[in-house]
Chain A
């Protein structure tokens, strides 16, 4: 596949905003790298799906949404949680399985939840979040709430029946759902063209009678701009909108993956047009960012990550006596 040339050109944002975007991408990158390291040390266990290479999508999209909006995400949701405002400390403690984690250590990497920031997971079933987003949007409509629901999912979910049912229902009932498809070209080890008869994802979505758009997922400007238009449509009550973000993950699907399904060269090609260094290069070219400033941002991100690790390391384990809590509402603990 021939890739588009790297994102270039002036960045149409105020410097403060542009640096905020860069800072968030750096925070995600450093957090994810640290997770990889900690996984190797056995501090994080189970499955770990890293967002490295895809940072621009979460950053650009979420900065185009409102704090009141609801977010439904997948198991590759660390970036979304960070941008949304879930404290890194709570996230890292959750990865460690500590009680101080954002899900009390009950969920782990794939199940980050935060009621305060309306992050409704962290879902491990591919496509499992789509109907939840439809329902959340329905509830907002019925209660007259002025907000939208953004549902992030991978292109692999578009093969599941639940995707089609949810798209149909959202369009039929004109619900305020923003469908955000993060197309990183591989559903675990299966390339898009081996999974979809129709690889034009926007064409598939358009069949449900909703407007669509595609963004360069490695260009935070493209992501932010397109999401901005899409959410406007949804927020004005015109019904759902489908956005495809063309992106790429640099690392394996999850921690344990020999990546036999793709060529190393392809990875290098994508890296060459990666979100972080292309965006910082553009800002530098415009004279809005110096190397020192960049390194300072990086040091800040690293420090924040280190504090999160220290917090997690010193966290506590939930006592085993509390094993069966939070299965049903607390007062109903008798019986089963």
Chain B
């Protein structure tokens, strides 16, 4: 057991991956000399050299595409797109090449590429730097999408992602990097299952990534009011582990999905659709959701807070599901 931050966990994972497999290399903006915008890759250039830790020009489309090409060519690249906001520039290579190559070629080619992206809002960096597009990526057949929401997952999800023969996109919420916790030495190589982070009986709170700590906090608040909430951490956004989610919903008979993407077309909408399809008769209340409001994320702090999911909103939604 040791105490680590989310950032340190991811860095440890990257170091171990670089050391274990010469095919692994990193590409991204300012990951080398600068040490990484979020300091995740700090020290790695010094340790592994410029061939393995490559600073790229500001060319998201080209270097993500090059990641696809390098993966096709036998390497195991880990491409860092500084934030999901800049990934829009690389979408063509992700959607039209990375995700499609296996299928279009009739199974001849595989793209074992890992793309890491920082995501989410909460630091007053305003509209263009505060996006959450997990829902867009999670809708694309051909890729896998992970959202580590705990320090252990930040440390442990990279290795199985690298071992996966298909492209894996990993979303790291910006607010989680400083989060610290004790983590066991043993590794959890599971990138297929959701996890129940808090057991409960009265309402199932389903969430992932940056919203996980907020949801756990809401559950604590609710406990103080005599409401026993279960918290399910999705961990994997594509393919969704609906078996775990549905078991929780059937037990609690009420569900609230917490998701930082905009409400319309959110990932929560997809999950709720599946709950309605498969657990309709087990529900005692309509499923609820807490998402970002229909507004570009504003700069002013109180407005940003109002735009994003918060523990108070989550608790209120849970109570509403109970008719309180």
Direct contact of A and B (CB under 8 A): yes
Q: Is B296 part of the binding interface, using a Cβ–Cβ cutoff of 8 Å? A: no
In the complex, the answer to whether A139 meets B62 with C-beta atoms within 8 Å is no
A245 to chain B, nearest CB (A): 22
A166–B62 CB distance below 8 A: yes
Report yes or no: B108 in contact with A169, Cβ–Cβ below 8 A.
Answer: no
Looking at the complex, which one of A106, A132, A143 makes contact with B69 (CB distance below 8 Å)? A132
Q: Chain A contacts of B56 at CB under 8 A?
A: 169
Q: Is B4 an interface residue (CB 8 A)?
A: no
Residue of B nearest to A330 (CB): B107
* B269 interface contact, C-beta 8 A: no
Let me know if B142 and A135 touch, CB within 8 A: no
Of residues 118 through 137 on chain A, the ones whose CB sits less than 8 Å from some CB of chain B are 120-125, 128, 130-137
Distance between Cα atoms of A121 and B238 in the complex (Å):
27
Contact of A103 among B51, B69, B71, B104 (CB under 8 A): B104
Q: Is the CB of A132 within 8 A of B106?
A: no
Whether B195 is near chain A, meaning CB under 8 Å from some CB there, is no
| Complex alpha-carbon distance, A123 and B109, angstroms | 14
Among A51-59, A248-256, A264-272, A321-329, the one that faces the other chain is: A321-329
A178–B194 CA distance with the chains assembled, in angstroms: 46
Task: Pick the residue among B77, B93, B104 that contacts A122 (CB under 8 A).
Answer: B104
B102 contact set on A, CB distance < 8 A: 326-329
Q: How far is the CA of A327 from the CA of B238 in the complex (A)?
A: 13
Rounded to whole angstroms, the CA-CA distance of A328 and B142 in the bound complex is 5
The answer, yes or no, to whether B63 is at the interface (CB within 8 Å) is: yes
Is A45's CB within 8 Å of the partner chain B? no
B61 touches A111 (CB 8 A): no
A113 touches B105 (CB 8 A): yes
**B169 → A minimal CB distance (Å):** 13
In the complex, are the beta carbons of B106 and A131 less than 8 A apart? no
B70 touches A139 (CB 8 A): yes
Q: A132-B72, A329-B165 are in contact. Are A335 and B104 (CB under 8 A)?
A: no
Kindly provide the distance from the CB of B148 to the nearest chain A CB, expressed in whole angstroms: 18
Interchain CA distance A77-B298 in the complex, whole Å: 48
Given contacts A107-B104, A142-B51, contact A334 B70 (CB under 8 A): no
Q: A149 — which chain B residues lie within 8 A by C-beta?
A: 69
Q: How far is the CA of A274 from the CA of B255 in the complex (A)?
A: 69
Option from A137, A162, A327 in Cβ contact (under 8 Å) with B65: A162
Expressed in whole angstroms, the minimum distance between the Cβ of B244 and any Cβ of chain A is 11
Per-position 1/0 for B150-182, Cβ under 8 A of A: 000000000000001110000000000000000
B67 lies within 8 A of A104 (CB): no
Given A120-B72, A136-B69, A169-B56, residue A162 in contact with residue B106 (CB < 8 A): no
Chain B residues near A131: list those with CB within 8 A: 61-66, 68-69, 93
**Bound-state Cα–Cα, A122 to B104, Å:** 9
Which among A114, A138, A328 is the interface contact of B66 at CB below 8 angstroms? A138
CB closest residue in chain A, given B95: A125
Within 8 A of A (CB), among B113-158: 141-144
* Chain A residues in 8 Å Cβ range of B54: 173
Interchain CB contact under 8 A, A169 and B66: yes
CB distance from A146 to the nearest CB of B (A): 13
A107 contacts B106, C-beta separation under 8 Å: yes
Check A135 against B65 for contact (C-beta < 8 Å): yes
Kindly state whether residue B192 has any CB partner on chain A within 8 Å.
Answer: yes
The CA-CA distance from A120 to B144 in the complex, in Å, is: 22
Contact B108 A336 (CB under 8 A): no
Q: Which residue of A lies closest to B144 (CB)?
A: A328
Known interface pairs A115-B108, A138-B66, A142-B51; A328-B166 also in contact (CB < 8 Å) = yes
A327 to B23, CA, bound (A): 24
A–B complex contacts, Cβ < 8 Å, 26 sampled:
A101-B106, A103-B105, A103-B108, A104-B107, A106-B105, A107-B106, A115-B109, A123-B97, A128-B92, A128-B96, A132-B68, A132-B69, A135-B66, A135-B67, A135-B69, A139-B72, A139-B73, A162-B65, A165-B61, A165-B63, A173-B54, A326-B103, A326-B106, A329-B164, A334-B239, A335-B240
Which 8 pairs of residues, A with B, have the shortest CB-CB distance?
A135-B69, A131-B65, A139-B73, A335-B239, A104-B106, A165-B62, A336-B239, A113-B105
* B contact set with A: CB distance below 8 Å: 23, 25, 51, 54, 56-57, 59, 61-75, 77, 92-93, 96-97, 101-110, 141-144, 164-166, 192, 238-242
